[in-house]
Amino acid sequence: MSFLNPLVLIALAAASIPFLLHLLNVRKLRRVEFSSLMFLKELQKTRVRKIKLKQILLLILRTALVIFVVLAFARPVLRGTSGLPGARAAATVVIIVDNSTSMEVRDDQGKRFKQAKDVVVRLLENLEQGDQAAIVPLSDPGKALEEGTSQNRERLIRQVVDLQTGYGGGRYADAIPVALQILESAPNLNREIYLITDAQNINSDGLQNAPFVIDRNTRLQVLPIGENGNLPANIGIDSLQLLTTLFEADKPLDVRAWVHHYGHKPIEDVSVALYIEENRAAQSSISLEPGESIAVELSAPPKRSGFLGGYVQVEGDDLQEDNRRYFAFRVIDGSRVAIVASGESRQLLEVLLGLPGLFHTQSFSSNALSTVDLNNFSAIALVDIPTTSSSMGKRLADYVESGGGLVIWAGPQVKATEFNSTLGAALRLPLGSLIQPTGDIPPLGFGRFEKGHPLFAGVFDRAKSRGRVESPEIYRVLPPGGGDPIITMTNGMPFMTELRRGKGRVLYIAVPPSRAWSDLPRRSIFVPIAVRSMLYVGASGEEYQQFLVGEEAFLTLPSREAVAEQIQVVPPSGEDIFVPVRPYESGVSISVDELREPGIYKVKSGQREIARFAANMDGRESNLRPTPEEEFRDLFAGCMEDPSNLAIFDPGDDLSNIVLQSRLGLELWRYMLTLALLCALAEMIVGRGKEEQG
């Protein structure tokens, strides 16, 4: 026997009150004067014994009355089966419903999630008076704490009918603690957790080292969904990478997707397609063996500039929800660039960079640079400028740190010593000494040329990528002392180098864009170098981040983006999310607590779009392989004080018997209350008899 309200047993101390009153009543003696003691002696023999027996009986009845009343409120119960008539011990039931993406799979019995909901409804129909239940969605267990338990069967069934699968995964290690928290305040004897699941392997993550323990008074009953041994044919896209780093309209966008086959039979001619802005742009067909993973490369040009999104999609398997993987990027749309130059160099760059549809250019003299708002430009070209001040050097370095682009051309006015103490020190880009071949020494030229660098993506024909680049004749050169070389000269010194600082890029070119030190402007390579260098450094942050559904999205935006105090994030469903802005020296950041759906998310400041990002399902969700039953049992048994309270049933088992086996026990409070009433009635009869005799 056990008690559902054991603290009430403290009131059993009140059972001593009738005994104390009895003792006090015995000590009250009355003095009665008689003319003769002969009659008292006779009375003592015949009546005193009856009086004492009645007093003892009253004492027992009154004490029992108190005891039975206290026991009734303490709610004693008998565990196990019993032949006594009366109320079955009530139950508090928590039903964990697997609504992760894998439950969308269909088998011979139909969609697995529909099967799971039917099982839950049948469980709820077995609830009896006094039972209460709660529904815990596996992919969003915290929602159950808001709903709580209910005895209203119709309300619970509506809750199940309205339940939908989520795009994120579900973990038993997250849902069971919620179920235990609900059961903590349960007033009923029977405490049961039902787990309705397809037992997908990934759902068991975290159970082995779970921080919770299922107490010995709680039963855990697992009802698997799905056909054992029949692994669905599923193909998933595990990950996706944009190979292109410089995005331009009508120029190829290269994407690589890793496609994995999780089924157990070979498949042929699987279609893999690339979509840009919902338009099918490229496709390929592949064949896969069970367990095989293939990298598929697709290429197609975006048709417009601006903020764009796309996805790669596979077709023809049992689970559609994991067949897409999204990405987001931005195509430069005539970005604003500043040209700080003079003379021939300025004229050449203004012509090249001012071509229609390429850039919005604005030119300044070196003296006017201090008055320019650098954040208005995506890239700045510093061409043969004399010494900058230390403060100007720091401004330019901060501009690069926050995502700006800088292209520095050497020239006759650049003094290495002064440059190294100002702008070079701020950028950590020192210059070497001026090199000037004289006498019979031939001019320098290009030695090693990194054609595979993103700056030159799409410039050279891949079939002819091993050919030589037309090299200029270089008469003077001011080489850098740092950075990563992109073009190296015949003397081994770098001609063009790249330096990354924070979110921005710096390119240094060791000659001016004029004929002062070389004949570079006469060579065909000059235009790609001059134009694409500005595109490249001004394109930082164009490939936006990819996050996983269910995790927090943390996004850093360049400080040059004028943002409001609150940023509007528009998810694929269109229900706007407003998040606060956190300012930093190098930019501003925003975070979205939990991403609930896959797709492209738009980031807006007011009515202006300033960024995008993508959310995708965890690639591991595509693996539909269930956990073997023995391993499944061992994982759960390790989380229980009493592993005998764990039961794993077959899909075809009778639910009524399952429920009956878990609803053992009989509440005795009705019996205790009946006994208390009988004691009160008996006490009234005995007491009245005493008064009549008195």
Average pLDDT over residues 16-41: 61
Average pLDDT, the chain: 83
> In whole angstroms, what is the distance from residue 240 CA to residue 258 CA?
6
| CATH 3.40.50.300 is the classification of domain 235-332 | no
> pTM of the prediction?
0.68
pLDDT at 324 over 90: yes
**For the segment 383-414, what is each residue's pLDDT rounded down to a tens digit?**
998 878 889 999 999 888 877 899 999 999 99
54-64 pLDDT tens trace: 778 877 877 88
Q: How is 335-381 classified by DSSP, letter by letter?
A: -EEEEE--HHHHHHHHHHHTSTTT-EEEEE-GGGGGGS-GGG-SEEE
Q: Does the pLDDT of residue 250 top 50, yes or no?
A: yes
Confidence of residue 35 (pLDDT cuts 50, 70, 90): low
Cα 639 to Cα 96: distance, rounded to the nearest angstrom: 16
CATH 3.40.50.410 domain position(s) in the chain = 91-231+625-663
Superfamily holding 546-616:
Immunoglobulins (2.60.40.10)
pLDDT in tens, 639-690: 999 898 898 887 666 666 666 555 555 566 777 888 888 888 888 887 776 5
Q: Range(s) for CATH 2.60.40.10 in the chain?
A: 235-332, 546-616
Task: Give the pLDDT confidence score for residue 36 in this predicted structure.
Answer: 56
What is residue 469's predicted lDDT score, i.e. its pLDDT?
80
Confidence tier at 424 by pLDDT (50, 70, 90): very high
Strands 599-605 and 587-592, by their bridges, are unpaired
CA distance 392 to 170: 54
Q: Which fold has domain 365-537?
A: Rossmann fold (3.40.50)
Written as one string, the DSSP assignment of 627-675 is PPHHHHHHHHHTTBS-GGGEEE--TTS-HHHHHHHH---EE-HHHHHHH
Asked if residues 378 and 246 have their Cβ atoms less than 8 Å apart, the reply is no
Of residues 228 and 605, more confidence is placed in: 605
Residues 481 and 433 sit within 8 Å (Cβ to Cβ): no
- In which band, very low, low, confident or very high, does the pLDDT at 257 lie, cut at 50, 70 and 90? very high
At residue 422 the predicted structure's pLDDT band, cuts being 50, 70 and 90, is very high
pLDDT given for residue 79 in this prediction = 57
HEC states along 511-536? CCCCCCCECHHHCCCHHHHHHHHHHH
Per-residue model confidence (pLDDT) at position 81: 46
Q: Is 104 helix (H, G, I), strand (E, B) or coil?
A: helix
* The dihedral sign for the CA sequence 150, 151, 155, 159: positive
- For 91-231+625-663, the fitting CATH number among 3.50.50.60, 3.40.50.410, 3.30.590.10, 3.40.630.30 is 3.40.50.410
Q: In whole angstroms, give the CA distance from residue 483 to residue 496.
A: 9
Distance from C-alpha of 551 to C-alpha of 538, rounded to nearest angstrom: 30
